Amino acid sequence: MENLIIASGNKGKIKEAQEIFEEFKVIPMSSMGISIDVEEDQETFAGNAIKKAETIAKALNGEKCIADDSGIEIEALDGFPGVRTKRWFEGTDRERNLKLIEKMKGYSKDNRKIKFVTAIALSDGEKTICELGVIEGYVAEEVRGENGFGFDEIFELEDGRTLAELSQEEKNSISARKIAMEKIKSKLFN
């Protein structure tokens, strides 16, 4: 079984990758003794994911590496915060979410459209493929739900529930990361 190194220590991401890429032995890069911190300085999610995957694959002498970058884009704010999703505000996820709700005060539901975008890149240091997964919804008017992290508690779906109000199974079935990984897998094996 071929190794697939994942540029993450996040247990949820590792588990998801193991479920989708069952043809590979998915190994966190920390288990390979790699602790490279790749600066996310590209203009797009895809650019950051590609940079991470290629950098780590080259450091591992051509082992296949999978990396991601993701974040939210709010339509009425011209795609803000975009690639700076985790870096535009210093503070906890909750503090960041409350700040976004404050920024959206007075906007009607139609003007509260939000996208969650995940770019997944797979590289062996020479060849790289990258795919995007996107889910769409609205910025909620208040934080709701306990089953999530990041922006889940303010990301409202068409049915009125936030991602943090979904069961783990429901959330996994619509995951932007899963969508992108499935696209990568179909390119690898078709």
Q: What is the pLDDT of residues 109-153, one digit of tens each?
A: 999 999 999 999 999 999 999 999 999 999 999 999 998 888 999
pLDDT tens for 67-99 read: 999 999 999 999 999 999 888 999 999 999 999
Rounded to two decimals, the pTM is: 0.90
Confidence of residue 6 (pLDDT cuts 50, 70, 90): very high
Number of other residues whose CB lies within 10 A of the CB of residue 93:
16
**Structural domains in the chain plus CATH codes:** 2-189 (3.90.950.10)
For residue 26 the two structure tokens come to 């998915």
Q: Would you give the DSSP letter of residue 33?
A: T
- Residues annotated catalytic, as ranges: 69
Phi, psi of 82 (to 5 degrees): 55, -135
Q: CA–CA separation, 140 vs 81, rounded Å?
A: 16
